[in-house]
């Protein structure tokens, strides 16, 4: 069974975090929701999320995917956390998937993981990054790196990640049940 880690930081974008967690669970992915510190996380619009564990408690575990929700405040906290940078580098070295949406691709860029790659993000977030190819696509995959633009692309982002982890049939099954069309 595929595994995913969704780290939550104060100020994260709740729509992105909840969409990732919900759709992964619908697909049968084992999701670990970890706060940067113990206790509730107040998201960017005031929604309070309760992580199941802390990042410290799961740092030594292996995951198939780490998916970073955005939200400017959350992304800034993820970017400032050395544990996140070390985890992302380890995932990259192991050839595992690293995903980020909205403001969170800046976390990947800060860690030097988007150098020479194509990526997308919330408009303006990656401006000034000269060592990557910036795309306006809703979801961009470059090797094991997957990025997405923002809250409005969260469902497409999560479904793309499900397809990577579980295959096209599972993605189609989850998407069909959502009644998107």
Residues that are catalytic: 102
Per the listing, tokens 């697909």 go with: 27
Determine contact, residues 70/103, Cβ cutoff 8 Å. yes
Q: What is the rounded CA–CA span in Å between residue 134 and residue 155?
A: 21
Q: How many helices (H) and strands (E) does the chain have?
A: 7, 11
DSSP state of 153: G
Please say whether the dihedral angle defined by the alpha carbons of residues 22, 70, 160 and 82, taken in this order, is positive or negative: negative
Q: What is the rounded CA–CA span in Å between residue 148 and residue 174?
A: 19
Bridge partners of 65, per DSSP, are 4, 97
Phi-psi region of 70 (alpha: psi -120 to 50; beta: other; left: phi over 0): beta
Q: For the chain, what's the residue count?
A: 181
DSSP state of 122: S
């Amino acid at each position: 069974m595929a595994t995913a880690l969704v780290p939550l930081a104060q100020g994260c974008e709740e729509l992105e975090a909840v969409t990732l967690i919900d759709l992964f669970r619908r697909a049968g992915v084992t999701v670990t929701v970890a706060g940067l510190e113990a206790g509730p996380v107040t998201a960017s619009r005031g929604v309070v999320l309760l992580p199941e564990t802390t990042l410290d408690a799961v740092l030594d575990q292996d995951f198939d995917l780490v998916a970073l929700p955005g939200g400017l405040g959350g992304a800034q906290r993820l970017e400032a956390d050395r544990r996140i940078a070390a985890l992302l580098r380890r995932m990259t070295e192991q050839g595992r998937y690293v995903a980020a949406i909205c403001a969170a691709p800046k976390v990947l860029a800060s860690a030097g993981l988007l150098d020479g790659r194509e990526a997308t993000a919330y408009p303006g977030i990656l401006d000034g990054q000269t060592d990557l190819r910036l795309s306006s696509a809703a979801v961009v995959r470059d090797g094991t790196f997957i990025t997405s633009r923002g809250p409005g692309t969260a469902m497409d982002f999560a479904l793309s990640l499900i397809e990577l982890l579980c295959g096209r049939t599972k993605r189609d099954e989850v998407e069909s049940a959502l009644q998107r069309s």
